[in-house]
Amino acid sequence: MPAGILMESTLIILKPDCVKAGLCGTVLSRFEKEGFTIAAMKMVRLSRALLEEHYSHLSGKPFFPSLLEFMSSTPVIVAVLKRENAVEKARQICGKTNPAEAAEGTIRRQYGSSVQANIIHASDSLQSAEREIRRFFKPEEICA
Ligand code: UDP
Ligand code: MG
């Protein structure tokens, strides 16, 4: 690929179920095999305030309190991944929100155990990727 052409960044979160099951290496390896590179990564316990912002589009849903509880139950791994067409490709590799509906071969289908405990978050558009990367990382934490 010509240098820099259509290079995108996306944000992923390896959720508490991924961390507890010891699947972080496996999931990251899958992205590397698919041509993604890691531009930033850290392990953090996400605060309620940050999660409320991150999931604000779901604040009216009945599962919202339980989602916040789940996402703050253990530290998680947050990472910025780069690739051509990264946002769409990452969503494809993850599969649908509900692991039972996710396509064969996707991360959520293979490792997810419920619609809540679905292993991974990935930004759903270029705009949310930009916003989410800014939410979780300082500019100096991201490698060029
Ligand atoms: N979620 C849930 N119950 C639902 C729908 C979503 O617990 O009925 C959780 C699930 O962990 C999901 C997250 O809320 O990944 C964010 O939901 P969204 O609709 O944004 O799905 P995603 O973009 O993660 O596929
Ligand atoms: Mg989403």
Question: Where do runs of H (alpha helix) occur along the chain?
Answer: 16-20, 24-33, 48-54, 64-71, 86-94, 107-111, 126-136
Superfamily covering domain 9-137: Nucleoside diphosphate kinase-like domain (3.30.70.141)
pLDDT number for residue 128: 98
Query: Which residue's CA is the closest to the ligand 1 atom numbered 10?
Result: 116
Q: What is the pTM assigned to this prediction?
A: 0.96
How high is the mean pLDDT of the chain?
96
Q: Which of the four pLDDT bands, split at 50, 70 and 90, describes residue 6?
A: confident
Q: Where does residue 121 rank: exposed (0-12), middle (13-18), buried (19+ CB within 10 A)? A: buried
Q: How far is the CA of 53 from the centre of ligand 1 (A)?
A: 14
Residues 99/125, Cβ–Cβ less than 8 Å: no
Residues 50/131, Cβ–Cβ less than 8 Å: no
Looking at residues 87-100, what average pLDDT do you find?
A: 98
pLDDT per residue over 11-70, tens digit each? 999 999 999 999 999 999 999 999 999 999 999 999 999 999 999 999 999 999 999 999
